[in-house]
């Protein structure tokens, strides 16, 4: 690890926001549409990965 690289714990901490946002969005969506627990978990996983991939790129652009 070089001096400029973030530690693993710091990288992990930055990932914790995406699953929480995804779960909130899926919960709101499931209150409008009847979804099973499996469908909610799948959508939350997809949203979490998407948010994690998009968010750093938005920071680089601005």
What gap in Å lies between CA 29 and CA 59, rounded to an integer? 27
Q: Is residue 1 part of a domain?
A: no
Comparing 62 with 18, which gets the higher pLDDT?
A: 18
pLDDT band for 5, please (50, 70, 90 cuts): low
pLDDT, tens only, 15-52: 666 677 777 777 776 677 777 777 777 877 777 777 66
Q: Is residue 20 part of a domain?
A: yes
Q: Find the length of the chain.
A: 62
Distance of CA 31 to the CA centre of its chain: 20
Q: Is residue 3 part of a domain?
A: no
The SS3 assignment for 62 reads: coil
**Maximal CA-CA distance, the chain:** 49
Q: Is residue 2 part of a domain?
A: no
The whole-model pTM stands at 0.45
Predicted local confidence at residue 4, as pLDDT: 60
What gap in Å lies between CA 18 and CA 58, rounded to an integer? 14
Residue with tokens 């499996």: 38
Number of domains in the chain: 1
Residue 45: which domain range?
A: 8-61
Predicted local confidence at residue 57, as pLDDT: 60
């Amino acid at each position: 690890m070089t001096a400029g690289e973030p530690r693993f714990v710091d990288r992990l901490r930055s990932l914790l926001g995406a699953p929480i946002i995804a779960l909130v969005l899926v919960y709101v969506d499931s209150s409008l549409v009847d979804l099973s627990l499996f469908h909610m978990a799948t959508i939350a996983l997809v949203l979490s990965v998407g948010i994690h991939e998009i968010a750093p790129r938005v920071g680089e652009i601005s």
